[in-house]
Structure 1
Amino acid sequence: MNTAVPTDSDSKTVLNISCYQFVAIDAPDALRDTLHERAQALGLKGTVLIAEEGINLFLAGPADAVRTWVDALRGDARFAALAPKESWSDEVPFRKLLVKVKPEIIRMNHPTIRPDQAPRAPALPAGTLKRWLDQGHDDEGRPVVTLDTRNGFEVDVGAFDGAIDWRITKFSEFPDAFQAHRAELDGKTVVSYCTGGIRCEKAALYLDQEAVRHGLDAKVYQLEGGILKYFEEVGNAHYHGDCFVFDERRAVDPELAPSPDSVVE
């Protein structure tokens, strides 16, 4: 985990983390109870979703408390590789702590897509995507398109320049949207992206499988770490606007600071 202190403002003392991992969890209810107890004892707020396919979390609080919770979770070998993305704020952007067991940590309603049971689709580092967008093609000379896997209202807050946006209203609509628009991906290198990586990881796996099934000439990647990692590593190159987040900040800017126009008072 990045352990740097905030540099934009000494007043920003609340550490916000987001992270997910697709990994088989055979007793999600027991894990829920353990993680809830730890987070509550440390005074953290946010949301932790657990399913048989993995974990997805958004937590905030004092830096030492947040990192203590993460270190304890990493003590479980299944989560040793967790690398939360960090940002800072003046206030905790969550009203309460929720730790829930769900059928999926991100709902797609497509049971054959199980990232915890299959190899990942290739992940593209932020710097490589920027370079490809700078030059207008990938390293093989193929045209590159970015495919936004988020809901339409999130895209409206900010997106990559010229991104494909199928105006879905929930992620479970993504498979049908692909079937309706799959021809536009033929012959392209497709980089799926989302906020922090979880949706584009499932989407890329689905796209890769379906491209083969339909005989499409499409090379599929997922943007490693999503928009938040892209902001952290290369800023807002080829991106316009902010990034919507599902907490009271509503959006963060390319410096990963709460967007002044979006914070809920």
Structure 2
Amino acid sequence: MPHPFKVMAIYRFADLPDVKELQAPLAAFCCGRGIKGTLILAREGVNGTVAGTPEAIDALHAFLMQGPLFSGRLEGAEIKFSFAHEPPFARMKVRVKDEIVTLRAPQANPALEVGTYVAPRDWNDLVTRQDVVLLDTRNAYEVGLGSFAGARDPGTQNFTQFKDYVARNLDPARDRKVAMFCTGGIRCEKASSYLLSQGFEEVFHLKGGILAYLETVPTEESLWRGECFVFDERVSVGHGLEPGDASLCRACRHPLTTADRAHPDYREGVSCAHCAGDAARHAAAAERQKQVLLAQRRGLAHLGDAVHAAAEEGRERKRVRAEHSRGKAKAAG
């Protein structure tokens, strides 16, 4: 079965002093072609993932690379294409932020210095060496779905905690060779630059991240175990970037494996073992799940349960406001 939606993940560290002027025309280009997802703009560059028809995504790629808006400043961007059966995103957002990936470490400047890139084909040879520390720079909930065999899990809840992990667990005098990886490569740009600023001598990172590795390295040669979490409605991908088996808990947004969904605390769309005991959150999730089921009965599920749940919630809020306004009008009369 063909995949009707093309997904593009992109990042590029580049000097964009006119970042605020870029926001509106970029959003207009995407919205005019039905593209959905998130693009983050900052003075240090561009980062994001979007999806649409293959024709729309190809047009956006040409617009970013060759169009007058960026005037060639995104040349050399790290770009990864994949495909999906269902729309991965509900709406289009173009946001201006201080950083395209938040570390809050001014000494980490990928435009000036980064670690040594390692091609996916060469990754296995590097990380199986005894003198190399293999480090997963992603957050704990991502690592829980899958990682490289033998990799260290920093146990972070967000990327800004990476600095604390380094201070507590790594030593430039002892850990002379550090190899790191992340989903698409962008976090490693910042992380490798940070490690170099802290005196680490040899820092390596997987070019194109896990996604490039899963696309390039044959399954029988792979050191990857599990699935790779992605930040859209696919939730995870596997080798060949095929959609994985993971799902999201709609209450706490934690990714769930098959085993997680077999746990006694799991209720589809309502709760999981990671958020058990949070009654208020479960009540809201239960209402959301009711709206999802309502959308399915109306034959709307093919557009994505999350999309229609949000739409139903919005309509419900409007209905409540309207009834409230009518009640006030009657009372006044």
Match of 1:68 among 59, 63, 71: 59
1:127 matched residue in structure 2: 121
What is the rounded CA distance, in whole Å, between the counterparts of 1:74 and 1:173 in structure 2?
33
2:227 matched residue in structure 1: 242
Q: Deviations over 1:144-193 (max 9, x none)?
A: 23211000000001100010111000000111110000139824421111
Post-superposition offset of 1:194: 0.3
Residues 28 and 240 of structure 1: is their aligned pair in 2 closer, same or farther, counting only changes over 3 Å? same
Tell me, yes or no, if the aligned pair for 1:144 and 1:191 is still in contact at 8 Å: yes
Amino acid at match of 1:70: H
Tell me, yes or no, if the aligned pair for 1:130 and 1:234 is still in contact at 8 Å: no
Match of 1:27 among 5, 14, 18: 18
Q: Give the structure with the larger strand fraction.
A: 1
Q: Matched residue of 2:199: which SS?
A: helix
Residues 83 and 180 of structure 1: is their aligned pair in 2 closer, same or farther, counting only changes over 3 Å? closer
What is the rounded CA distance, in whole Å, between the counterparts of 2:195 and 2:78 in structure 1?
25
Tell me, yes or no, if the aligned pair for 1:148 and 1:193 is still in contact at 8 Å: yes
Alignment of 1:167-178 (within 5 A): 167-178=155-166
Alignment of 1:249-260 (within 5 A): 249-260=234-245
2:169 matched residue in structure 1: 181
Post-superposition offset of 1:121: 1.8
- Aligned: 1:99 with 2:86: no
Amino acid at match of 2:146: G
What is the rounded CA distance, in whole Å, between the counterparts of 1:53 and 1:34 in structure 2?
19
Moved more, 239-248 or 123-132: 123-132
Amino acid at match of 2:59: T
Give the count of matched residue pairs: 244
What is the rounded CA distance, in whole Å, between the counterparts of 2:242 and 2:172 in structure 1?
35
What is the rounded CA distance, in whole Å, between the counterparts of 2:53 and 2:173 in structure 1?
44
Q: Matched residue of 1:77: which SS?
A: coil
2:293 matched residue in structure 1: none
Q: Matched residue of 2:155: which SS?
A: coil
2:188 matched residue in structure 1: 200
Question: 4+ residue runs of structure 1 moved beyond 3 angstroms?
Answer: none
* Percent of aligned pairs sharing the same letter: 33
In structure 1, stretches of 5+ residues that fail to align are: 1-9, 213-217
What is the rounded CA distance, in whole Å, between the counterparts of 2:218 and 2:7 in structure 1?
19
Residues 113 and 187 of structure 1: is their aligned pair in 2 closer, same or farther, counting only changes over 3 Å? closer
What is the rounded CA distance, in whole Å, between the counterparts of 2:62 and 2:46 in structure 1?
15
1:37 matched residue in structure 2: 28
Match of 2:9 among 3, 18, 24: 18
RMSD over equivalenced CA pairs, Å: 1.8
1:111 matched residue in structure 2: 106
Q: Deviations over 1:213-250 (max 9, x none)?
A: xxxxx521111010001111114511100000111111
In structure 2, stretches of 5+ residues that fail to align are: 249-303, 306-333
The one of the two structures with greater contact order (alpha-carbon pairs below 8 A, sep at least 6) is 1
What is the rounded CA distance, in whole Å, between the counterparts of 1:45 and 1:11 in structure 2?
20
What is the rounded CA distance, in whole Å, between the counterparts of 1:69 and 1:200 in structure 2?
25
Residues 18 and 63 of structure 1: is their aligned pair in 2 closer, same or farther, counting only changes over 3 Å? same
Q: Matched residue of 1:79: which SS?
A: coil
1:3 matched residue in structure 2: none
Post-superposition offset of 1:124: 0.9
What is the rounded CA distance, in whole Å, between the counterparts of 1:203 and 1:167 in structure 2?
15
